[in-house]
Structure 1
Amino acid sequence: MPPLISQEEALRLGQVEDHAEIEALIERAWQVRVERFGDSTDMCSLVNAKSGGCAEDCGFCAQSRFAEADTPMHAMMTPDQILEHARAAEAAGAHRFCMVTQGQGLSKRDLQNVLDGARLVAEHTNLKRCASIGHMSVERAKQLKEAGIQRVHHNVETAESYYPEVSTTVRYEGRLRTIAAVEEAGLETCVGGILNLGESPEQRVEMAFELAKIDPTSVPINMLNPRPGTKFGDREYMDPWEAVKWIAIFRLILPGALFRLCGGRVENLGELHALAVKAGINGVMMGNFLTTLGSEPDDDRAMFEELGLNVARQPDNGANPRPDNRSGWLDGDTPRTPVDDLIDSQEEANFWNPAVQLRHRKKTSVPPRPDGSENTFPDVVQVDARDPRTPEGEGSRGSQAA
């Protein structure tokens, strides 16, 4: 579906500051979302299946070897461990489950764990399966599809013109090649980026139109959650009204894509979280993120239900796909869902929990960034000592879960 506005109009809308005008823009985006998707939703959850020690220099990421932040580590999960976290996601009301690993790619052994984990999730849950495992060839993408993966996530992160400020070791062209390989293998694509990396309004519009050209099934929208000791560690959070405005603008540029709120949504949106959903969102990343904590399941579901949206499970792995299986290639019987009642709190199930399952390895030395930039730290980091889930040594600013 082509964009509903031009680049010039998108830039004009990006200059709007009056809250009443932003609310009018949100209503416009809401109508587009309802016309395309009705009351359906697309709720997702993830597991950080392998973390830490990444050789790349992405400026937002604490897992990078070039970041001065302590490295969040844990080894590749077993297929059974992946399944346990998938069951928790299903109990929370997620419709799909993504297996995420760090780095540009996986070894054959680690890939096999992802493939076996995907097969278990397909056999024992009613969740759709996604993977985010770095760069890949068409052959590797076909292996994912044969194992039951239906959608592959691979972000462009930002506009091509700003990309050299974000990473110099992972080329933008390489990201596009991976996305093309995923499409050639017959898989759905999940491609988005991160707002507030220092890009200009013009570059935000540029990224949105680049995404429109890619035409992904799903677009994850992240907002920078600055991690001390990374290149972008001293950036301020995004103004909530600014964030909501840009979500609505992206919806008008990408009217046919599924939008989900992901990393940084808790910290950046605050009390405007529900308004952001109305700006055109189909779902959120439920549970926790890669290295930071998320919301409670009942709070996430309530944001959508208050807008009259349907978050209930659907028997849709088989012959009656909802919009989140846009290509419609799935067939077969729907597995029996083992969880009858949705949970309200993460404490009720075995969620991926970075506060417990990650260990943080201190770095004795950090190589200089390839682009010559310095890592940065905020002037003040607030720590909520009352929250037992807050990882030791971390405050309200955690690493980006893109």
Structure 2
Amino acid sequence: MSASFPVSTAASSVPDNPANAADWASLAAEVLAGKPLTREQGLRVLNAPDEELPGLLDAAWRIRNHHFGKTVQLYYLKNAKSGLCPEDCSYCSQSKISDAPIEKYAMLNAERLLDGARKAAESKARTYCIVASGRGPTDREVDHVAGVVRQIKDEYGLHICCCLGLLKPEQALRLKEAGVDRINHNLNTSERFHDEICSTHTFRDRLATLDVCRDAGLELCAGMIVGMGESHEDIVDVALKLAELKVESIPVNFLNSIEGTPLQNVQQLDPRFCLKVLVLFRLTNPATELRVAGGREVNLRSMQPLALYPANSIFVSDYLTTKGQAAEDDFRMIADMGFEITTGDFESKQLLALWSKGDASALPVCESAGGSCGPVCGSTSPHRKG
């Protein structure tokens, strides 16, 4: 759902330093009227004392409810290529500097990718996500994916999202021509902090891939990983940059540190701070799909349900290299909050149907799920797939 609002040129009636729930509500009203959040107001959100959290969540809910109502979108994906990555992203269990014991395999063949599409189509799924690790795809891999996508489009007509890493213009065009609808490529962090987490590619490389995909007519999915040592200013800068880029979807990941990676000893985040981050992204990107992605369970913990006030999407089941919360627990959480599930693919629909009958454990979850795609697609590899 989307809406356009006139952009106000009048001075804000809300101080950069709101002091109570009424001020946060007024700020939400201005955002709904089309006035962009300032950097100072964004920092105020992240620095707000915990007693202001109810007011912050209420402000985010006003905006989320206006654009998306009570709907929650669930996502699964197909992990088409695992590990084997030459990049040195410090957060990633699939990088060349990681000692994490993960499964590694080359690009899946057409039969296995088509089988995933068949399962999605049988449940009238809208989106099928194809994810591959690595710096970027070879032309042969792009041709392989493009060929499979054409078959999927011909046979099932599914919405296709690909997470393939750094792309060249001709590769993006081939994917678009084949029927790919959206590319996921996360910023991960701010330009200022990027070199602290990766040296084998730059922040500008990531922006270039997003520009290439936009020029090719592809929709954009891009987000960040919170908790890698960045400052509040870095988080606000990413939120504002994504608003500038006008991406269609934003996955917000909270670092789930993996043993064997350089960030293995990073402490978990405060769940209240995680909620403030989600509020920030909703205020800065009011009409954009916002997903709670990798690290949701370990960082938000018992406060996971509150994330649905700013966010309108979550990832179900496992991540790329770590286990996620049981799908039936996600369904129960959504139902208990009074929200409505918009199912995403074959497994989520079947799990939802079984859960409603009290038998979700009877069906195994899919092998790959979620929305932070891995280093190749610009995501959060220790986090969820997708």
TM-score, normalized by length of structure 1? 0.76
SS at match of 1:73: coil
SS at match of 2:323: coil
Aligned CA distance change for structure 1 residues 248 and 341 (closer, same or farther; 3 Å): closer
1:231-250 matched pairs, under 5 angstroms? 231-250=262-281
Q: C-alpha distance in 1, partners of 2:157/2:331?
A: 18
Q: Is the 8 A contact 1:98 1:132 kept in 2?
A: yes
For 1:204-257, what per-residue CA distance to the aligned partner results, in whole angstroms no more than 9, with x for missing partners? 111111111111000011110101121211101111111111111111011121
Shift, 1:311, TM fit: 2.0
Alignment counterpart, residue 282 of structure 1, candidates 288, 312, 327: 312
| 1:208 and 2:239 aligned | yes
For 1:61-89, what per-residue CA distance to the aligned partner results, in whole angstroms no more than 9, with x for missing partners? 11111223235301211222123334556
Aligned CA distance change for structure 1 residues 240 and 218 (closer, same or farther; 3 Å): same
Taking only the aligned residue pairs, the percentage that are identical comes to 31
1:3-402 matched pairs, under 5 angstroms? 4-18=36-50, 20-86=51-117, 95-125=126-156, 127-278=158-309, 280-312=310-342, 342-344=353-355, 345=360, 348=363, 351-352=366-367, 399-401=382-384
Shift, 1:343, TM fit: 4.4
| Amino acid across the alignment from 1:400 | H
Shift, 1:187, TM fit: 1.0
Shift, 1:287, TM fit: 2.8
Q: C-alpha distance in 1, partners of 2:79/2:260?
A: 21
- Specify every segment of 5 or more residues in structure 2 that has no aligned partner in the other structure, as ranges: 5-33, 370-380
For 1:32-69, what per-residue CA distance to the aligned partner results, in whole angstroms no more than 9, with x for missing partners? 01112233443221121101121111010111112232
Q: C-alpha distance in 1, partners of 2:163/2:131?
A: 5
Q: C-alpha distance in 1, partners of 2:351/2:269?
A: 39
Shift, 1:143, TM fit: 1.6
Q: Is the 8 A contact 2:73 2:343 kept in 1?
A: no
Q: Is the 8 A contact 2:153 2:179 kept in 1?
A: yes
Q: C-alpha distance in 2, partners of 1:274/1:225?
A: 18
Aligned CA distance change for structure 1 residues 5 and 197 (closer, same or farther; 3 Å): same
Which moved further from structure 2: 200-209 or 125-134? 125-134
| Equivalence for 1:387 | none
SS at match of 2:274: helix
| Amino acid across the alignment from 2:367 | W
Q: C-alpha distance in 2, partners of 1:118/1:399?
A: 27
Q: In angstroms, what is the RMSD of aligned CA positions?
A: 2.8
Q: Is the 8 A contact 1:39 1:308 kept in 2?
A: yes
Q: C-alpha distance in 2, partners of 1:186/1:308?
A: 36
Q: C-alpha distance in 1, partners of 2:124/2:232?
A: 35
Alignment length (residue pairs): 335
| Equivalence for 1:383 | none
| Equivalence for 2:375 | none
SS at match of 2:73: coil
Shift, 1:125, TM fit: 4.7
SS at match of 2:314: strand
- Specify every segment of 5 or more residues in structure 1 that has no aligned partner in the other structure, as ranges: 315-337, 355-397
Shift, 1:129, TM fit: 1.4
Aligned CA distance change for structure 1 residues 38 and 173 (closer, same or farther; 3 Å): same
TM-score, normalized by length of structure 2? 0.79
| Amino acid across the alignment from 1:230 | T
SS at match of 1:311: strand
Aligned CA distance change for structure 1 residues 27 and 88 (closer, same or farther; 3 Å): farther
| Amino acid across the alignment from 2:315 | M
Q: Is the 8 A contact 1:89 1:287 kept in 2?
A: no
